[in-house]
Amino acid sequence: MDLIRSMGGRATYARVDVSDEASINAMTETALKASGRIDGLINNAAYFREVKLTPFEELGVDEWDRIFQVNVKGVWLCCKAVMPAMRERKRGSIVNIASVVAVAGQPGYLHYVATKGAVLAMTKGLAKECGKDGVRCNVIAPGFVITGATQNRPVEWQQSFLKARAISREQRPDDLVGTALYLLSDLSGFVSGQTIVVDGGHIMY
């Protein structure tokens, strides 16, 4: 935020629990108070840092429910909260961050894969429902991105992604920025309901 301000921009923030509707509504109110409108939403919050490689039949119900609360319910609640502001202006862009595992599958992470698959399906439904209001909804499906939440993954697992890519290097958060800016901007004004895989050329279709 300080970097944005130092470059002449404006920025504010709100601490949010995306599994809590009141918290999300407070975030929306903060955004409206700061700028008077909401042009775009990126749903990037996810429950993943705590997720461990686990055979699906060993997953507990509480763990299954918790990941769905954040990764699926959270996306729905955030979209729900910003829609009135977008609908009022007859324009807006929602970008949901899923994962390439929702396209290709991944053993040992069934609960996480299932939530990201739900995000893909939800985005298509939202695109159909919100298009009449001028709101576009799309998905970015990243590959394995090196972040603080992913650095503790098994090295051999990380290497399997690296070796399968056409661009054989680690993926960083900055690799997603260009696609996100495109989907938020008018350059993608006729793009909705789409999944764009950004993984260095691992999954191709």
Residue positions annotated with a catalytic role = 112
- CA torsion angle 155 202 169 111 (round to 10): -40
- CA torsion angle 173 96 52 201 (round to 10): -60
C-alpha–C-alpha distance, residues 46 and 43, integer Å: 9
Place of tokens 């260009």: 178
Reported in sequence order, the residue ranges of 44-190 that DSSP labels E, i.e. its strands, are: 92-97, 135-142
CB 46 within 8 A of CB 69: no
Closest listed residue to residue 142, CA positions, set 124, 118, 161, 155: 161
* Contacts of residue 172, Cβ cutoff 8 Å, sequence gap at least 6: 145, 146
CB 127 within 8 A of CB 137: yes
